[in-house]
Amino acid sequence: MKRKCCPSGGGGKDRFGRMHDHEDIGEWGGPGMIWLTNLRGDEFVLNAELIESVESRPDTTITLVNGRRYIVKESVEEVVTRVIEYKRRIFGIKAGV
pLDDT tens-digit profile, the chain (97 residues): 445 444 444 444 544 455 444 444 455 455 678 999 999 999 999 999 999 999 999 999 999 999 999 999 999 999 999 999 998 888 887 766 5
55 domain-assigned: yes
Q: Is the Cα torsion angle 82, 46, 50, 67 positive or negative in sign?
A: negative
81 domain-assigned: yes
What is the CA angle 71-60-28, rounded to 5?
80
37 domain-assigned: no
Q: pTM of the prediction?
A: 0.67
Element (H, E) at 8: none
Q: 4: which DSSP letter?
A: B
Please report the pLDDT score of residue 10 as a whole number.
46
43 domain-assigned: no
96 domain-assigned: no
| Tally of domains in the chain | 1
Distance between CA atoms of residues 47 and 50, nearest Å: 6
Distance between CA atoms of residues 36 and 60, nearest Å: 11
In 3D space, the residue among 9, 4, 87 whose CA is nearest the CA of residue 43 turns out to be 4
Range of the structural domain that residue 78 is part of: 49-91
60 domain-assigned: yes
66 domain-assigned: yes
What is the CA angle 59-38-2, rounded to 5?
130
Please report the pLDDT score of residue 29 as a whole number.
53
